[in-house]
């Protein structure tokens, strides 16, 4: 079988994908195999003595859609002789079946498939009548070309060496991951140091009021209002006791833990029993594994000197009288040592927050009806509070 005729048949049947190069040979399905550099019957018009090789024709027919300049560059990169420009159209017409013949074709006599020219059908004479070898060859003839390729494949890269890219490295990714892990460990250490981890107490039912708080009855750290660090123990958040404010001891837990605002009057109807002196809240919607707990109280007058050391946040009314009898000179000193929050409805008048805007407090706005937005507001509180805690931990 002439390789030119065979290539034409595969092109017309749209089976070029079945032509596979294995080493220095081209395999046409499971039937024929020819050397890549074998000369075909097609002569170049430019150089009469030049016959195009099989690899030249296969490279041309698979890339005939390219512009001639791009095709020439592609052929040079593969070190394969290219088809000249005058030969392109008549050769393409012949291979695709538009023309039946060409004056450039001068067929050569090729041996039949059972002769020695076809590597797939190896002759007994060339193998020294080795019947075992002939049996192996017949087995190979029946195998899929892709299987033959995979059988001789050698791994050049493993999962480690594949990361070794030129002008590329993953050191920045490694350092970022390491830095993140160090920050997490540092945060856990600070949580334990300042008594913010209250997981065991919470699992036992949380903090109660009065004597049920479970505090150590031993001596406490002395009050140091002039310092910048937080006192030892669970931090305290103060909320107003007046029902006229949005956040109270009744609804603060649902707001901070679940990100849902429930009006005080509604929550009061749901509750049974007396008003708690103290409740515990923790940040639930967090990726951190550390459970951070805070006490929430609404009676500043009941705090002892050592308790004031643990006060880290306050929800303000926007009234000066709220800070009466506080152990601070003025609201400037208060919000220098304690982070302040003012919770308001987003459609309230500007006058309602006029006083609070003059203070160093975080104004948090929520909707009267869109409860799905409460979570974002609660996250604002936690982010500001955690930022304050980090600044006071050094």
Residues 208 and 335 in one domain: yes
pLDDT tens string 349-361: 777 678 888 888 8
Let me know if residue 161 belongs to a domain: no
345 and 286 in a common domain: yes
Q: What percent of the chain has pLDDT over 90?
A: 27
Round to whole Å and give the CA distance between 224 and 228: 8
Which pLDDT does position 27 carry in this prediction?
A: 92
Same domain assignment for residues 147 and 216 = no
Provide the token pair at 270: 């749901």
pLDDT digits (tens, 9 = 90+) for 329-343: 888 888 889 999 999
- The domain that holds 378 is classified in CATH as 3.40.50.11990
Q: What are phi and psi of 391, to 5 degrees?
A: -70, -25
Q: Residue 127 — φ and ψ, nearest 5°?
A: -110, 10
Q: Does 140 lie in the same domain as 254?
A: no
Tens digit of each residue's pLDDT (9 = 90 or more) over 33-88 = 999 999 898 888 775 568 889 999 999 999 999 999 999 999 999 999 999 888 89
Q: Is the pTM of this model over 0.95?
A: no
Is residue 311 scored above 60 in pLDDT? yes
For residues 146 and 197, the model is more confident at: 146
| Residue 340: inside a domain | yes
Residue 346 lies in a domain: yes
Where a domain ends, among 93, 126, 151?
A: 151
Residue 283 sits in the same domain as residue 341: yes
Domain carrying residue 58: 3-151
User: Could you tell me if 216 and 85 lie in one domain?
Assistant: no
How many domains is the chain built from? 2
Does 340 lie in the same domain as 221?
yes
Residue where a domain terminates, one of 151, 184, 207: 151
Query: Quick check: is 34 in a domain?
Result: yes
Mean pLDDT value across residues 231-252: 86
Q: How far apart are CA 152 and CA 154, in angstroms?
A: 7
Whether residue 190 lies inside any domain: the answer is: no
Average pLDDT, the chain: 78
Residue 152 pLDDT exceeds 90: no
Give yes or no: residues 212 and 94 share one domain.
no
User: What Cα–Cα distance (Å) separates residue 98 from each residue in 64, 220, 268, 300?
Assistant: 15, 100, 90, 97
329 and 246 assigned to the same domain: yes
Any domain includes 169: no
83 shares its domain with 222: no
Q: Specify if 260 maps to a domain.
A: yes
Last residue of a domain, one of 126, 151, 176: 151
Termini Cα distance of the chain: 86
Most confident of 135-144, 150-159, 254-263: 254-263
- Within 13 Å and on the Cβ side, how many CA atoms surround 193? 13
């Amino acid at each position: 079988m002439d390789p030119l005729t065979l290539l034409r048949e595969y092109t017309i049947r749209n089976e070029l994908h079945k032509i596979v190069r294995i080493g220095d040979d081209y395999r046409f399905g499971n039937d024929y195999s020819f050397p890549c550099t074998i000369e075909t019957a097609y002569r170049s018009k430019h150089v009469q003595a030049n016959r195009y090789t099989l690899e030249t024709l296969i490279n041309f027919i698979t890339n005939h859609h390219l512009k001639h300049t791009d095709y020439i560059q592609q052929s040079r990169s593969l070190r394969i002789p290219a088809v000249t420009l005058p030969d392109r159209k008549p050769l393409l017409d012949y291979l695709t079946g538009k023309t039946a013949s060409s004056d450039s074709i001068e067929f050569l006599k090729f041996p039949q498939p059972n002769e020695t020219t076809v590597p797939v059908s190896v002759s007994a004479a060339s193998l020294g009548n080795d019947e075992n070898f002939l049996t192996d060859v017949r087995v190979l003839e029946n195998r899929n070309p892709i299987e033959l390729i995979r059988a001789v494949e050698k791994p050049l890269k493993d999962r480690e060496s594949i990361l070794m890219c030129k002008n590329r490295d993953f050191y920045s990714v490694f350092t970022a991951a390491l830095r993140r892990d160090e920050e997490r460990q540092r945060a856990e250490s600070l949580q334990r140091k300042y008594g913010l981890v209250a997981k065991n107490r919470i699992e036992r039912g949380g903090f109660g009021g009065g004597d049920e708080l479970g505090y150590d009855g031993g001596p406490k750290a002395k009050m140091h209002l002039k310092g910048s660090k937080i006192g030892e123990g669970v931090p305290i958040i103060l909320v107003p006791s007046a029902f006229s404010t949005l956040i109270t001891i009744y609804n603060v837990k649902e707001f901070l833990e679940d990100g849902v605002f429930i009006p005080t009057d509604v929550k009061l109807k749901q509750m049974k029993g007396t008003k708690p002196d103290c409740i515990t809240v923790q940040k639930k919607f967090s990726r951190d594994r550390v459970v951070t707990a805070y006490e929430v109280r609404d009676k500043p007058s009941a705090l002892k000197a050592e308790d004031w050391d643990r006060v880290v946040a306050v929800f303000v009314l926007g009234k000066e009288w709220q800070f009466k009898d506080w152990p601070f000179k003025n609201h400037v000193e208060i919000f220098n040592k304690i982070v302040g929050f003012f919770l308001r409805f987003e459609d309230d008048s500007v006058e309602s927050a006029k006083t609070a805007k003059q203070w160093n407090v975080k104004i948090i706005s929520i909707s009267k009806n869109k409860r799905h937005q409460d979570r974002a507001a609660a996250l604002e509180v936690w982010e500001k509070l955690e930022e304050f805690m980090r600044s006071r931990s050094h």
